[in-house]
Amino acid sequence: MKKRNICIISQYFLPDVNGDVVRLLNVLRALKRENNVVLITAYPHYPHGKVPKKLRRRFFIRQKWNGVDVIRTFILPLSHKGFINRFLLYSSFSLSSLISIFLVKKPDVVLAFSQKVFSYFTGIAFKIFRGSRLALDLTDIWPEAIVNTGYMKEGNKLFKLIDWMLKIIYKLSDKVIVLTEPMKKIIALKGISLSKIAILPNVIGIKIKSPNNSSDGEKFPGKFIVMYSGNLGPNYDFKTLLRTALLMRNNEDILFIIRGKGEMRNQIINFIRKKDLKNVYLDERILDEDELVNYLNRANVFVLPMKKCPYPNASFPIKLLDYLGIGRPIICCADGFLSNFILTNQIGIAVSPGKFRELANAILTLKNDPELRERMTKQARDTIKKYFSYESFEENVANIFQSL
């Protein structure tokens, strides 16, 4: 069978690492064996905007990565902080990546990959000027997901403009790929045929190790560790998590660890200092994969503190898969599909967003019931096999691209 030419457009790629890159690497792995794949991406820049100086005056460069042709194009050297910076970052890559239309052999299929819809414009250009089939990958549904972060008000003029624009883009595309069934329903309500929408769940992105229920370590001997690990972004409710720690400050054997980087860093630090919280440890170190897995294995319980928001089903956090891979109970502060998923699969406890007393009670429930934690650990392994294995991911990718 003749190999097809597939072009993927993604603002983020190695050495930058975030949830989108983990998904992209799995897509590349699934596609490059049977296809000729070229990747259009930006210069390294995430999250601090530190574009290498030698690249700042060049509009594009060509590279090779594991048999994949990579074309990197210009992006502004700005940090991922605030709405304006993010808009400028996304826009600059969207414009610079248009040059790739003239740099690659005509693709049979173009996959415009996540990145807050801006990569879709380049995808549409490929469809119009090169006649390529177009698939859109959505890990967040805009403008609903922007409202959830607080950067936009529901129903205002900008909301309506983005929603109108995306409906047109969805209709022009040949396939719309989402993470969950509720996300599929949201897209269908925008007037898109169900036959055009495919579901491609993420796959676990870390090495699975045998459960280690001991929380003893060099720094935290004898502590029951409640851990958040991931982006310190505005879509997570760190205020409720910290208020829970404040409420439980007299439980001396319970330690809260917040691990990661992001724009909520200063607010977290200020709260810890103002309240003199000795039971909260903020760790901003960048860890390689093995170090991260070992670090996460210190946790007794993971917490996923989602904000109360109007569109709880517009996203599905990839960090949930990391938590499942480690095999610890998950306390999820959320409504909608995410809460139901936790409860249905018996992998943790779901509490109402913003309810710090409920969160504290859930922590104590799990702390005082090691048998319950053990059952949830087993359920985590079963849930990975059922929904998030690489084998099912690869099969789904093959089916989606065969239909294009």
Q: What average pLDDT is seen over the chain?
A: 91
pLDDT tens figures, 230-262:
889 888 999 999 999 999 999 999 999 999 988
Residue 270: is it exposed, middle or buried by C-beta count within 10 angstroms (0-12/13-18/19+)? Answer: exposed
73 and 90 inside one domain: yes
CA atoms of 402 and 396, how far apart (whole Å): 10
Q: In this predicted model, which residue has the larger pLDDT, 275 or 22?
A: 275
377 and 395 inside one domain: no
For the ranges 112-121, 259-268, 328-337, the one whose mean pLDDT is highest: 328-337
Mean pLDDT for 376-395 is 91
Instruction: Return the pLDDT at 48.
Output: 84
Mean pLDDT for 269-285 is 95
pLDDT tens figures, 75-87:
999 988 878 998 8
Which residue segment(s) compose the domain that 371 sits in?
A: 224-387
How confident is residue 207, by pLDDT bands cut at 50, 70 and 90? low
145 and 264 inside one domain: no
13 and 86 inside one domain: yes
Residues contacting residue 207 through CB under 8 Å, at least 6 positions apart:
289, 290, 293, 325
Domain count for the chain, please give it.
2
pLDDT tens figures, 20-76:
888 999 999 999 989 999 999 999 998 888 999 888 889 999 999 998 999 999 999
pLDDT tens figures, 318-358:
889 989 989 999 999 999 999 999 999 999 999 999 999 99
| Per-residue pLDDT at 131 exceeds 50 | yes
102 and 156 inside one domain: yes
Instruction: Return the pLDDT at 73.
Output: 96
| Per-residue pLDDT at 211 exceeds 50 | no
42 and 191 inside one domain: yes
131 and 41 inside one domain: yes
| Per-residue pLDDT at 214 exceeds 50 | no
398 and 304 inside one domain: no
Q: Examine residue 214 and state whether it is found in any structural domain, yes or no.
A: no
Q: Residue 178: which CATH number?
A: 3.40.50.2000
Instruction: Return the pLDDT at 54.
Output: 87
pLDDT tens figures, 79-108:
888 789 988 999 999 999 999 999 999 999
Taking the alpha carbons at both ends of the chain, their separation in whole angstroms is: 16
Pairing of the two strands 68-73 and 60-65: antiparallel
- 109: nearest Cα among 198, 10, 172, 37: 37
91 and 133 inside one domain: yes
Q: Examine residue 218 and state whether it is found in any structural domain, yes or no.
A: no
Question: 3-class SS at 345?
Answer: coil
Instruction: Return the pLDDT at 212.
Output: 47
398 and 359 inside one domain: no
With beta carbons less than 8 A apart as the criterion, state whether 7 and 40 touch.
Answer: yes
Q: Examine residue 216 and state whether it is found in any structural domain, yes or no.
A: no
191 and 241 inside one domain: no
